Amino acid sequence: MKFKRSAAGVLAISMIAMTGTVAAEGPGNSNGKGPHRAVENVDVIDAESFSISFDKTYPAGLPLERIVDVSVVDEDGEAIDVGDLDVEVNKSDRSEVTVTHDSLRGETGTLTVGAEELDFDYYEFELSIFHTNDNHGRTDAFPHLVTAYEAAQEEYGEGLLLDAGDVFSGTLYFNEFRGQDSVQFMNYMGYDAFVPGNHEFDLGDPDDGHPELVEFFEAAEFPIVAANMDFSGDPGFDHLVQGGITRDAEDSNIYDGIIVEQDGEEIGIFGLNTEDTETISSPENVLFTDYLEAAEEAVANLQEEGVDKIVALTHLNFSGTISDQTLAANVEGIDVIIGGHSHDRVEPPLLVEENADGEPMEPTVIGQAGEYGEHLGAMNVVFDRDGVVTGVDGELYASEEFEADPTAAEMLEPFTAAVEELQNTPVNATIVNDLPNPRLGTGSDVSVRANETALGNLITDGQLDAALTADDDVIMAVQNGGGIREALAAGTPSIGDVITVQPFGNRLALMDITGDELYEAFELSVSEAPNENGGFLHVSDGTEIVYSSDNEAGERVESITVDGEEIARDDTMHTIATNNFTAGGGDGYDVFADINDDGRVTIVGFTDWEMLRDYMEDLGEVDYDVEGRIVDTAAE
| Domain CATH number, residue 580 | 3.90.780.10
Q: How confident is the model at residue 56 (pLDDT cuts 50, 70, 90)?
A: very high
357: Cβ–Cβ under 8 A, 6 or more apart, which residues?
Answer: none
Report how far residue 303's alpha carbon sits from residue 577's, in angstroms, rounded to the nearest whole number: 51
Domain-terminating residue out of 382, 415, 448: 415
The verdict on whether omega for the bond into residue 348 sits within 30 degrees of 0, i.e. cis, is yes
Indicate whether 20 belongs to any domain.
Answer: no
Indicate whether 540 belongs to any domain.
Answer: yes
Residue type, 47: A
Question: What sign does the CA torsion over 49, 53, 57, 59 have?
Answer: negative
Q: Give me the numbers of helices (H) and strands (E) for the chain, helices first please.
A: 14, 34
What would the mean pLDDT of 321-344 be, rounded to a whole number? 94
Indicate whether 23 belongs to any domain.
Answer: no
Burial of 485 (C-beta count, 10 Å sphere; 0-12/13-18/19+): middle
Report how far residue 9's alpha carbon sits from residue 348's, in angstroms, rounded to the nearest whole number: 14
In this structure, are 398 and 448 located in the same domain? no
- Evaluate whether 532 touches 447 at the Cβ level (below 8 Å): yes
Report how far residue 507's alpha carbon sits from residue 489's, in angstroms, rounded to the nearest whole number: 24
Indicate whether 25 belongs to any domain.
Answer: no
Indicate whether 384 belongs to any domain.
Answer: yes
Paired residues of 261 in beta bridges: 266
- pLDDT tens for each residue of 85-98: 999 999 999 999 99
In this structure, are 357 and 265 located in the same domain? yes
Mean pLDDT, the chain, integer: 91
Domain-terminating residue out of 387, 415, 443: 415
Closest to 135 measured CA to CA, from 341, 317, 312: 341
- pLDDT tens for each residue of 402-425: 999 999 999 999 999 999 888 889
Report how far residue 314's alpha carbon sits from residue 335's, in angstroms, rounded to the nearest whole number: 13
Indicate whether 8 belongs to any domain.
Answer: no
441: Cβ–Cβ under 8 A, 6 or more apart, which residues?
Answer: none
In this structure, are 282 and 394 located in the same domain? yes
Tell me: pLDDT of 493 over 50.
yes
Distance between alpha carbon 296 and the CA centroid of its chain, in Å? 19
DSSP string, 279-305: HHS--TT-EE--HHHHHHHHHHHHHHT
Tell me: pLDDT of 27 over 80.
no
Tell me: pLDDT of 254 over 50.
yes
Q: How confident is the model at residue 33 (pLDDT cuts 50, 70, 90)?
A: low
In this structure, are 431 and 381 located in the same domain? no
The 3-state DSSP class for residue 208 equals coil
CATH number at residue 93: 2.60.40
In this structure, are 165 and 93 located in the same domain? no
- Evaluate whether 488 touches 434 at the Cβ level (below 8 Å): yes
CATH number at residue 255: 3.60.21.10
Paired residues of 396 in beta bridges: 377
Paired residues of 52 in beta bridges: 42, 97
Burial of 516 (C-beta count, 10 Å sphere; 0-12/13-18/19+): middle
Report how far residue 125's alpha carbon sits from residue 107's, in angstroms, rounded to the nearest whole number: 11
- Evaluate whether 312 touches 258 at the Cβ level (below 8 Å): no
Indicate whether 15 belongs to any domain.
Answer: no
Report how far residue 356's alpha carbon sits from residue 323's, in angstroms, rounded to the nearest whole number: 13
Indicate whether 17 belongs to any domain.
Answer: no
Report how far residue 326's alpha carbon sits from residue 391's, in angstroms, rounded to the nearest whole number: 21
In this structure, are 463 and 405 located in the same domain? no
Residue count (the chain) = 636
Paired residues of 271 in beta bridges: 313
Residue type, 406: P
**Which carries the bigger pLDDT value, residue 371 or residue 286?**
286
Burial of 375 (C-beta count, 10 Å sphere; 0-12/13-18/19+): buried
Report how far residue 200's alpha carbon sits from residue 178's, in angstroms, rounded to the nearest whole number: 10
The 3-state DSSP class for residue 608 equals helix
Domain that holds residue 464: 426-632
Residue type, 370: G
In this structure, are 351 and 494 located in the same domain? no
Domain-terminating residue out of 415, 440, 464: 415
Tell me: pLDDT of 381 over 80.
yes
In this structure, are 403 and 443 located in the same domain? no
Whole-number Cα distances in Å, 12 to 201, 222, 384, 402: 41, 32, 11, 29
Residue type, 421: E
Report how far residue 112's alpha carbon sits from residue 89's, in angstroms, rounded to the nearest whole number: 20
* Residue 494 Rama label (left phi>0; alpha psi -120 to 50; beta): beta
Closest to 576 measured CA to CA, from 567, 454, 205, 453: 567
In this structure, are 401 and 254 located in the same domain? yes
Residue 282 half-sphere exposure toward CB, CA atoms < 13 A: 24
- Evaluate whether 168 touches 416 at the Cβ level (below 8 Å): no
The domain tally of the chain equals 3
In this structure, are 254 and 318 located in the same domain? yes
Residue 580 CB: number of other CB atoms within 10 A?
25
- pLDDT tens for each residue of 162-221: 999 999 986 789 989 999 999 999 999 999 999 999 989 989 998 899 999 999 999 999
Tell me: pLDDT of 600 over 50.
yes
Report how far residue 458's alpha carbon sits from residue 431's, in angstroms, rounded to the nearest whole number: 11
In this structure, are 349 and 431 located in the same domain? no
Tell me: pLDDT of 16 over 80.
no
In this structure, are 549 and 582 located in the same domain? yes
